[in-house]
Amino acid sequence: MSFLFPGMLLALLAVGIPLVVHLFAFRRYKTIYFPSVRFLREVTERTDARRRLRHLLVLISRMLLVVFLALAFAQPFLKQPDEVRTAGRQRISIYIDNSFSMEQAASGGTLLDEARARAKALLMAYQQDDLFQVLTNDFSVAQQQWLDRDEALKRIDDISLSAKSRTLQEVLRRQQDALSGAPGRSFLISDFQKNLIREMPVRDSLLTVTLIPLQASSQENLFIDTCWMYAPVQLAGQPAKLYVRLRNLSDQPVREGRLTLVINDAVKAISDFAVEGGASRLDTLWFTLSDTSWNRAAVTLTDHPITFDDAFYFTFPVQSHVKVLEVSERQANAYVQAVFSAAGLFRYEQVQAAQLQYDRLRLADFIIVSDLAELSSGMAAALRAFLEEGGNVAIFPPSNARLDGYNSFFQAVQAGQLLPWRSGTQQLSRINAEDEFVRGVFSRLPDQTAWPQATGLFAFQREARTLSRPLWSCSDGSAVLVKVPVGRGWLFISALPLSRDHSDWVLHPLFAPVLFNMAAMRAYVPAHAYPIGAEGRLLVKADALSSDAVLQLRNASGGYIPPQRREQRAVVLFLGHNDEQPGFYEITDAAKRSYGWVAFNHNRSESDFTFLNTKEIAQLAASLDARVLDQPASQLAGTLSGHVAGISLWKLSLILALLFLLLETALLKVR
CA distance 23 to 28: 9
Q: Are residues 355 and 487 in the same domain?
A: yes
Other CB atoms within a 10 A radius of the CB of residue 382 amount to: 20
Max mean pLDDT range (23-32, 231-240, 405-414, 499-508): 405-414
Tally of domains in the chain: 5
- Is 85 part of any domain? no
In 3D space, the residue among 379, 405, 395, 389 whose CA is nearest the CA of residue 491 turns out to be 395
Instruction: Please state, in angstroms and rounded to a whole number, the distance separating the CA atoms of residues 14 and 3.
Output: 19
Q: Are 640 and 220 in contact (CB under 8 A)?
A: no
39 pLDDT more than 70? no
Q: Look at 341 and 95; give whichever has higher pLDDT.
A: 95
User: Is residue 595 one of the residues assigned to a domain?
Assistant: yes
The tens digit of pLDDT for each residue in 41-74 reads 555 555 667 777 877 888 888 888 888 888 888 8
- pLDDT at 15 > cutoff 70: yes
Please report whether residue 83 resides in a domain: no
**Mean pLDDT, residues 466-480:** 85
Nearest Cα neighbor of 181 from 84, 301, 108, 91 is 91
> How confident is the model over 511-540, as pLDDT tens digits?
888 888 888 887 667 778 999 877 888 888
Q: In what order do the strands lie in the sheet with 536-541?
A: 536-541, 570-575, 564-567
Average pLDDT, the chain: 84
What pLDDT shows up at residue 32? 57
Per-residue pLDDT band for 87 (boundaries 50, 70, 90) equals very low
My answer on whether 566 and 628 are in the same domain is: no
Does residue 615 form part of some domain? yes
Residue whose C-alpha is closest to residue 279's, from 251, 244, 247:
247
Residue 551: band (very low, low, confident or very high) from pLDDT cuts 50, 70, 90:
very high
Same domain, 543 and 634: no
Last residue within a domain, chosen from 520, 537, 571: 520
Lowest pLDDT segment from 246-255, 506-515, 543-552: 543-552
> Does residue 4 register a pLDDT over 70?
no
Query: Domain for residue 383, yes or no?
Result: yes
pLDDT digits (tens, 9 = 90+) for 606-638: 887 788 888 999 999 998 889 898 877 777 766
Q: Are residue 195 and residue 281 in the same domain, yes or no? A: no
Does residue 488 share a domain with residue 476? yes
Q: Which helix (H) or strand (E) holds 623?
A: helix 614-624
Asked whether residue 82 is domain-assigned, the answer is no
Helix, strand, coil percentages, rounded to 5, for the chain: 30, 30, 35
pLDDT value for 69: 86
Please report the pLDDT score of residue 600 as a whole number: 94
Q: Domain holding 389: CATH number? A: 3.40.50.880
Helix 403-412 × helix 377-388 angle, to 10°: 30
What's the domain range around 61? 2-75+650-669
- Straight-line distance from the first to the last Cα atom of the chain, in angstroms, rounded to the nearest whole number: 40
Same domain for 103 and 185? yes
Gyration radius of the chain's alpha carbons: 40
Q: Out of 7-21, 81-95, 529-543, which region has the weakest mean confidence (pLDDT)?
A: 81-95
Name the residue with higher pLDDT: 666 or 120: 120
SS3 (DSSP) at 146? coil
**Are 405 and 440 part of one and the same domain?**
yes
Query: Are residue 378 and residue 482 in the same domain, yes or no?
Result: yes
Among 582, 601, 620, the domain boundary falls at 601
Which pLDDT score is estimated for 448? 58
Same structural domain, 211 and 253: no
Q: Which residues lie across from 370 on neighbouring strands? A: 328, 396
Cα separations in angstroms, 566 against 317, 546, 573, 574: 22, 10, 9, 11
Q: What percent of the chain has pLDDT over 70?
A: 88
Query: Region 240-256: what's the mean pLDDT?
Result: 91
So what's the pLDDT on residue 83? 36
Q: What is the pLDDT of residue 155?
A: 95
Q: Is residue 86 part of a domain?
A: no
pLDDT band at 100 (very low <50, low <70, confident <90, very high): confident
User: 370-388: per-residue pLDDT in tens?
Assistant: 999 999 999 999 999 999 8
Instruction: Single out the residue in 266, 287, 318 at which a domain terminates.
Output: 318
User: Are 144 and 247 in a shared domain?
Assistant: no
375 contacts: CB under 8 Å, gap ≥ 6: 369, 395, 397, 405, 406, 409
The pLDDT of residue 457 is above 80: yes
What sign has the CA pseudo-torsion 556, 582, 551, 391? negative
Residue 641 and residue 661 in one domain: no
Rounded Cα gap, residues 81 and 79, in angstroms: 7
pLDDT band at 84 (very low <50, low <70, confident <90, very high): very low
pLDDT of residue 85: 43
pLDDT at 643 over 60: no
Please tell me whether residues 256 and 313 are part of one structural domain.
yes
Q: What is the CATH number of the domain that holds 278?
A: 2.60.40.10
* pLDDT of residue 136 exceeding 90: yes
Q: For residue 84, is it within any domain?
A: no
The CATH number assigned to the domain holding 559 equals 2.60.40
